[in-house]
Amino acid sequence: MIFISLVLVVLLVLIDQAIKYFVITNIDLYETFYTLSINGHNLFSITHVRNNGAAWSIFAGKTILLTVIAVIAIILVLFLIASGRFKLKLEVVMLSFIMAGGIGNIIDRIKYKEVIDYIQTDFIDFPVFNFADICVVVGAIGFCVAYLIIESINNHKKRSVVMGALGDSPNEKNNDSEIDILTELSDVSDNDTESIKIDDSGEIEDEKS
């Protein structure tokens, strides 16, 4: 599974870097290349911007700090994938998304000292983001959902086992009691029964069978 995860990470990083290369080479800084509108209302636009901080430009100019934090997070995610702790494939896939998004933005910080952003939401005031950011968000939400699903399944199995054990106990006791009674009756029949005989003189003679 780790091989598939790494292949997925490489694929997502390549997609992220290809889009950013297109933006850099074809769209001037702060220029809008395309706008998606419905009934005259702008929804999204492709606008070339740069961000040397995190979301909402927090930690602006702290490129080294943000890079170190991202590297630590990626190493942690890679460790979780390699540990085999998560058995559900969806969990591993979502962790791969998180790692790919982190790597995509780290490459920007190393190459340009800032992140290339281009997806702008025109219908709401929200920071401009990129494909790598989408990977991180989708991965985080998907991982939480997958984890909750598997935990719910495990808890249901545990309750079923407990209820089954509680339901079987009285029956097992009854079965044991029935076996004991039958055993006692068998012993009485084999060892303690007496046969009654009448001899020629008409007297009753008790004889152990």
Distance linking the first and last C-alpha atoms of the chain: 74
Q: 184 lies in a domain?
A: no
Q: pLDDT by residue (tens digit) across 37-56?
A: 998 889 999 999 998 876 65
Burial class (CB in 10 A: 0-12, 13-18, 19+), 6: middle
Does the annotation count 117 as an active-site position?
yes
pLDDT band at residue 2 under the 50/70/90 scheme = confident
Q: 182 lies in a domain?
A: no
Q: 29 lies in a domain?
A: yes
Q: 168 lies in a domain?
A: no
Q: Between β-strands 115-121 and 32-38, what pairing exists: parallel, antiparallel or unpaired?
A: unpaired
Q: The tokens 């989408």 sit on which residue?
A: 134
Whether residue 133 contacts residue 12, with contact meaning beta carbons closer than 8 Å, is answered with no
3-state SS string for the chain: CHHHHHHHHHHHHHHHHHHHHHHHHHCCCCCEEEEEEECCEEEEEEEEEEECCCHHHCCCCCHHHHHHHHHHHHHHHHHHHHHCCCCCHHHHHHHHHHHHHHHHHHHHHHHHCCEEEEEEECCCCCCCECHHHHHHHHHHHHHHHHHHHHHHHHHHHHHHHHHHHHHHHHHHHHHHHHHHHHHHHHHHHHHHCEEEEECCCCCEEEEEC
Q: pLDDT by residue (tens digit) across 15-39?
A: 999 999 999 999 999 999 999 999 8
Q: 186 lies in a domain?
A: no
Q: Residue 12's closest CA among 74, 58, 65?
A: 74
Please tell me the total count of domains within the chain. Answer: 1
Q: What integer pLDDT is reported at residue 193 of this predicted model?
A: 47
Catalytic residue among 108, 117, 168, 192: 117
Q: 95 lies in a domain?
A: yes
Q: pLDDT by residue (tens digit) across 100-156?
A: 999 999 999 999 989 999 999 999 988 899 999 999 999 999 999 988 887 788 777
| Residue 181 token pair | 């009674």
- Cα–Cα distance measured from residue 65 to residue 127, given in angstroms and rounded to the nearest whole number: 20
| pTM for the full predicted model | 0.69
Residue 196: is its pLDDT beyond 60? Answer: no
- Cα–Cα distance measured from residue 138 to residue 129, given in angstroms and rounded to the nearest whole number: 13
Catalytic residue among 122, 133, 168, 176: 133
Q: 164 lies in a domain?
A: no
Range of the domain at 110: 2-159
Which of 122 and 60 is assigned the larger pLDDT? 122
Q: 173 lies in a domain?
A: no
Q: Give the length of the chain.
A: 209
